[in-house]
Structure 1
Amino acid sequence: MTDELDLLREADPVSADTGPWRDRPLDARAELLLRRLPSRDRRRRTVRRRAVWSLGTAAAAAVVALALTVSGTGSSPAVAAPRPLPLVAHASRADVSLTEIARRARAAAVESPSKSERGSHFQSWALGMRSGRDAVTLPRESLTRWNADGSGSTLEVATDPRRPGRPVIEDGPPPRTVHDGKVLSEEHYPPGMNGANGDYFEDPPAGAPALRGYLAVWSPGADRDPADLLSAIRSFLTVWTPGPRQRADIVTLLSGIEGLRPAGEVTDRLGRQGQGFRFTGTPGSRYLIVLDPDDGGVLDIEETYTKDDPEYRVKAGDVMSYTAYMS
């Protein structure tokens, strides 16, 4: 209880001089502070998870990976995926600068100012670590779709670790699995819900500064720290599929990050060609962001270790986490 009270006192959405009995709407600052309360608590938990999964989660990942089977004659249980190799970037004369990608994204937004769509389709994995144990990777694919009446569904599948990058979910009404994989969760939401109980439930605003502020509501620090901004963009893209205007805004935010350097052309794990950019953030980690050079869409965000950590049996260059956005 002490932590919650401290958060409420720190937020102080109504100042002492407003009068104890006045009933009035909260101003914009108060709304922002109140919304940050649950997200700040989530961020604390997220930071701890980046260092080490809970014992229960790591054990569950191992069980799922070991239970995952491959269909066909002579099927045998699949083992936890080998640690994925980092994406490789190759510099060439055909490289497209971030400035040019931003220009193309803004031009595309003018030609087709369609809105972002709530819902996402992505593949991801992260290392599950326990002190003194080998890390476990659990590849997964997730598809979330929302309908006009606010109803929706989420399907999450553990993919075959021996076939990384192969899509296992077919988008459609309803979505279904099309390749080997173990369903981790499947949820259906009633009309009117429209994601209201999740993060980023409000429609994202237009304009890069406004989008930065919107991201900071859910990921405090995104309005001032580049690593937090990248983390917020990664999370946002697992909830929303950005339209041309939001794609341009995201690239504009990326172009303002000091230290984001061109890495070269990248072929991602889904076989797509993109332009890579590297950023060294918090000590011990480095980001690789892969963009579609034509419209600025974020294809992939990968985070790797930059130094060894013997306690968790990870080495510099190991992939910490990876997300490939499929729609």
Structure 2
Amino acid sequence: MAEHSDEQTEHLVRRLVEANDPMRGKQIAPPRRSAAELRRLAEQRRGDGRWRASTRPGVRLRSLVPVAAVALGVGALVLVNVLPTGVADRAEPIPVAMAVAPAALGLQFPGPADPAGPWLRELAERTARLPESAGPGRYTYQHSQTWSLDSTGADPAAANAVLARDEQLWWAADRSGREDITVLPGQPGDEEQTRWLDGPPSGTDPARTDYRPGELAVVVDEPATDPAVLTRQLSAHEPFSNGPQAVIRAVADLYRFHEMNPALRAAVLHVLTETSGLVLRGRVVDRAGRVGVAVSVDSAAGATRDLAVLDPDTGHLLSYEQVALISPPRSAVRAPAVISYVLYLAHRRTDQLG
């Protein structure tokens, strides 16, 4: 890895922070809480294991860990967990000294790669012709597993800590529902890593949150199947003016909530088709053992890579991850290094809550 002068490093920092600022171009509302109140909220996190805030009364926001924006600071790699209107729920992190970072995915085309647009367009057209598969049911059910490196904690002992979780969500049209979160082993590279493809085993006690009607906020209330309209909806969540990485991150967030029927999957693929900078990385086996095709975009002055793995038969997003391509001075992270990933394991309609 080439050494950077102080001036070059400062320039990279500025470009990186500006490119990944989730509030870039947005008006910021006046704070509802004082600094002292926010400090008290932070202290309460250790007491109950969860931390919530919202910009409007009565609405509680799910965590979107680890779909994150990455910022280079002096001597540290900082992951900013991005939410559109609130603060993420957190599980207690595992220090990085106790954790094994996951190995990079084996890409068919790890070096120079062709634009992904033509392949994405073909996949979108084939996906649009698939029959509807959504069944009846009051609730949308989503099951995912997440892993992320978190350097945002104030405790130096937890610097570069790992957050690994199994997440299950049931939500209804009235924005009521239930969320179960179970902390996973923090060693995704270990052969003993548990993968609960059908949910936690019997006897496991997850942290459960119940949402009353109107309490649960989701990414895009009613996503459109018209690509132009969907583009505007996704950009309102993650401004596309921030760069092509914002598009792939918005899509990754959308998949955390919605039952993606063929028409909606096709619209998402059309949005990605029109995104400049996406390249085709070819065949890959994701961290749940599924065969897919990867597309990626490098961003933030070449510091990060956002990578999505798509099912070449159905157009589904199988997984999403971020990779650090530049190692900050004195950081525990040595590039290239995986810094977060999401596995999308199940999504369906159901009448059963929990």
TM over 0.5: yes
Q: Distance in 2 between matches of 1:124 and 1:207?
A: 29
Q: Distance in 1 between matches of 2:124 and 2:69?
A: 32
User: 1:140 — aligned with what?
Assistant: 165
Q: For residues 163 and 261 of structure 1, do their structure 2 counterparts lie closer, same or farther at Cα, with a shift above 3 Å needed?
A: closer
Which amino acid is the alignment partner of residue 167 of structure 1?
R
> Is 1:234 aligned with 2:242?
no
> Is 1:51 aligned with 2:78?
yes
The correspondence for 1:124, drawn from 146, 162, 168, is: 146
Which amino acid is the alignment partner of residue 100 of structure 2?
P
Deviation at 1:129, TM superposition (A): 1.7
Q: Would the aligned equivalents of 2:127 and 2:265 in 1 still touch at CA under 8 Å?
A: no
Deviation at 1:285, TM superposition (A): 0.4
Which amino acid is the alignment partner of residue 237 of structure 1?
Y
Question: For the pair shown, which has the larger CA radius of gyration, 1 or 2?
Answer: 1
Q: Distance in 2 between matches of 1:187 and 1:306?
A: 36
The correspondence for 1:155, drawn from 166, 177, 180, is: 180
Secondary structure at the aligned position of 2:277 is classed as coil
- Over the matched positions of the two proteins, sequence identity in percent amounts to 21
**Deviation string, structure 1 residues 82-127 (Cα, Å, up to 9, x no partner):** 11112111259xx9x6534533443333342466984422111111
Which amino acid is the alignment partner of residue 51 of structure 1?
V
The correspondence for 2:316, drawn from 254, 275, 297, is: 297
The correspondence for 2:276, drawn from 233, 241, 258, is: 258
Secondary structure at the aligned position of 2:256 is classed as coil
User: 1:112 — aligned with what?
Assistant: 131
Q: Distance in 2 between matches of 1:138 and 1:179?
A: 23
Secondary structure at the aligned position of 1:310 is classed as coil
Equivalent positions of 1:199-278 (< 5 A) are 199-200=218-219, 202-219=221-238, 221-222=239-240, 225-278=243-296
User: 1:178 — aligned with what?
Assistant: 201
Secondary structure at the aligned position of 2:289 is classed as coil
Which amino acid is the alignment partner of residue 127 of structure 1?
L
**Deviation string, structure 1 residues 39-84 (Cα, Å, up to 9, x no partner):** xxx99xx758882469xx9993138x9xxxxxxxxxxxxx843111
Deviation at 1:294, TM superposition (A): 0.9
Q: For residues 111 and 302 of structure 1, do their structure 2 counterparts lie closer, same or farther at Cα, with a shift above 3 Å needed?
A: closer
Unpaired stretches in structure 1, ≥5 consecutive residues: 1-5, 10-33, 66-78, 172-176
The correspondence for 1:82, drawn from 97, 100, 105, is: 100
Q: For residues 317 and 106 of structure 1, do their structure 2 counterparts lie closer, same or farther at Cα, with a shift above 3 Å needed?
A: same
Q: Would the aligned equivalents of 1:212 and 1:223 in 2 still touch at CA under 8 Å?
A: no
Aligned residues: 263
What is the CA RMSD across the aligned residues, in angstroms?
Answer: 4.0
Secondary structure at the aligned position of 1:326 is classed as strand
User: 2:49 — aligned with what?
Assistant: none
Secondary structure at the aligned position of 1:213 is classed as helix
Q: Distance in 1 between matches of 2:151 and 2:315?
A: 34
Q: Would the aligned equivalents of 2:141 and 2:259 in 1 still touch at CA under 8 Å?
A: yes
Q: For residues 52 and 262 of structure 1, do their structure 2 counterparts lie closer, same or farther at Cα, with a shift above 3 Å needed?
A: closer
Higher relative contact order structure (alpha carbons within 8 Å, sequence separation ≥ 6): 2
Q: Distance in 2 between matches of 1:48 and 1:298?
A: 22
Q: For residues 261 and 53 of structure 1, do their structure 2 counterparts lie closer, same or farther at Cα, with a shift above 3 Å needed?
A: closer
Unpaired stretches in structure 2, ≥5 consecutive residues: 1-26, 31-54, 72-76, 82-88, 347-354
Q: For residues 274 and 223 of structure 1, do their structure 2 counterparts lie closer, same or farther at Cα, with a shift above 3 Å needed?
A: same
Secondary structure at the aligned position of 1:170 is classed as coil
Which amino acid is the alignment partner of residue 240 of structure 1?
H
Q: For residues 263 and 197 of structure 1, do their structure 2 counterparts lie closer, same or farther at Cα, with a shift above 3 Å needed?
A: same
Deviation at 1:182, TM superposition (A): 6.7
Deviation at 1:242, TM superposition (A): 1.3
Q: For residues 280 and 182 of structure 1, do their structure 2 counterparts lie closer, same or farther at Cα, with a shift above 3 Å needed?
A: farther
> Is 1:317 aligned with 2:336?
yes
Q: Would the aligned equivalents of 2:178 and 2:208 in 1 still touch at CA under 8 Å?
A: yes
